[in-house]
Chain A
Amino acid sequence: MKNLLILGAGTAGTMMANHLVKKLPANEWQITIVDKEKTHYYQPGYLFVPFDIYKPEQIVKSIDQFIPKGVKLVREPIDRIAKDEDQVYLANGEALSYDLLIVATGTDIAPDEIEGMLGEHWQESIFDFYTFDGASNLRKKLMNWEGGKMVVHICEMPIKCPVAPLEFAFLADSFFKNKGMRDKVDLTFVTPMDGAFTKPRATKELNYLLEQKNIRIVPNFNVERVDGEARKVYDYGGQVVDYDLLVTVPTNMGDPMIERSGMGDDLNFVPTNKATLQSLVKDNIFVIGDATNVPASKAGSVAHFEAEVLTENILAYIAGKEMNGSFDGHANCFVETGNGKALLIDFNYDQEPVTGTFPIPGVGPLRLLKESRVNHWGKLAFRWIYWNMLITGKPIPFVSSAMMTAGKDIEPAPAEVG
């Protein structure tokens, strides 16, 4: 009996368990998945919780219900991977041997990386919304907040779901408008990037929306420290931004276990072949989702597309064949723009987001890089798709793992605005 071990039962790990249990013969392979948590969070929901669009209890389910029959779930913290022994040590001292390892331990916020961020003002006037607790606490705060300077802030790239901070700013604008207090709130978006997003054409479209919603942008801001007492954020270049309520996306880092295993880069992400998803650490270690260092967005859609490629490659690897599956960096993200609208972006390593129709070329019904109500319904419908299709490894109609160029206005039309 051979052992395939998956570390992490989040979006990526759970998808891999569901894919592989169908493909690997049960009399030859034992699949085991390790995670210390009991709860599977619907992470795209974190964005909606602070604005009371979702209640916290709507975005949680038990991890166990998504682990398929035939896969063994081990609920223990992981101490480290001993790659030279082909073993994983658990915190309780037990060792799990593997023939093939999949690392899917994701990323987490590391607010302690920024001086002054953690402390008595954390979750009082400085909040994150990238964790269940952060989003839930911010929801309570916003219920009674009387207004002032709200600063939405990104510490450093890369971060999980790179559009989420911008969506947060858009939704905040709507939220305060609906409460009849938009005039009492000064909204500022502070980012280490040149503009609103990482890709030029999307940035152009999104900058326009910032202007329309009266959200000030402070670009090229590399945070040095936060002064919680004075409510100021400082950058290395000498810029200072005042706030009353700081909603920050702290530095994102891979699991500390990766560092203990001596396998990570300086942010604890695992060096990974961006096409095959095999680790550069050892042949029998593969990496998927937010845990990799590949230059794709850290997002559930990316993990979903990667899972299809990785499944194919693992089967080839086991059979001693060449791995033909090649991940193209495909990401597909709904971007909430407030007032019941959203836009959709679809892109990969080489192709930046452009306008067009999706998923059926020329038809849609979704519009790329354009605001529409249908896109917003798509985003809300996605929660159902996530729980019922995505993490259990069912294919999503019309959406392939490789990005399609059909239906996209690739060149030379510049992104229209207005």
Chain B
Amino acid sequence: MATRAYAGTNVACNDEGYMTNLEEWTQQVGEEIAKEEEVEMTPKHWEVISFLQDQYRAEVPLTIRKIGKSGVTNIKEFYQLFPNGPLKKASRIAGIPKPVSCI
């Protein structure tokens, strides 16, 4: 298990760069991961990130469909906010594991 330096601290990450401990996440950490993902964060982005984290804490598996029904955003907008693989990208910024919606 490796760590990566974000916002002046070392946070635990897996090989694919997903954080393994949400406790270590701060908005600054999220901001820096977003830069790596080439996403410019806006208040709407943070609203979605916070929804993802809540769902993760509640142990609800995340799917694109779930995002569409979240009331926070719709699927079309979700793709505009986090282009190319929005759920993977947003999960990484949110400091939660890569979604395993596939069985």
Contact = CB atoms under 8 A, between A and B. Distances in A.
B75 A236 contact: yes
A220 B103 contact: no
B64 A222 contact: yes
Contact of A158 (B75, B78, B86, B103): B103
Contacts of B102: 157-158, 162, 193-194, 198
B65 A296 contact: no
Interface residues of B, number: 18
Given A156-B64, A266-B69, A222 B75 contact: yes
Interface string A185-227: 0000000111000100000000000000000000010101000
Given A156-B65, A220-B85, A237-B84, A162 B103 contact: yes
Given A193-B102, A297-B103, A237 B65 contact: no
Interface in B62-103: 63-66, 69, 75-76, 78-79, 83-86, 100-103
Main secondary structure of the interface of B (DSSP, over half): loop
A237 B83 contact: yes
Contacts of A220: 84-85
Contacts of B61: 295
Nearest to B83: A237
Interface residues of A, number: 20
Interface string A157-180: 110001000000000000000000
Contacts of A374: none
A145 B15 CA distance: 47
Contacts of B85: 220, 237
A192 B101 CA distance: 10
Contacts of A238: 79
Interface in A285-332: 295-298
Contacts of B79: 236-238
B95 to A, nearest CB: 21
Contacts of B100: 295
A297 B102 CA distance: 9
B75 A157 contact: no
Nearest to A195: B102
Contact of B76 (A198, A224, A266): A224
Interface in B28-68: 61, 63-66
B44 to A, nearest CB: 17
Contacts of B101: 157-158
A224 B75 contact: yes
B75 to A, nearest CB: 5
Nearest to A194: B102
A29 to B, nearest CB: 34
A297 B103 CA distance: 6
A236 B103 contact: no
Nearest to A113: B65
A266 B65 contact: yes
20 contacts: A156-B63, A156-B64, A157-B63, A157-B103, A158-B101, A162-B102, A162-B103, A193-B102, A198-B102, A198-B103, A220-B84, A220-B85, A222-B75, A224-B75, A236-B76, A236-B79, A237-B79, A237-B86, A267-B65, A295-B61
Given A193-B102, A222-B64, 13 more contacts: A156-B63, A157-B63, A157-B103, A158-B101, A192-B64, A220-B84, A224-B75, A224-B76, A236-B78, A237-B86, A266-B65, A266-B69, A298-B103
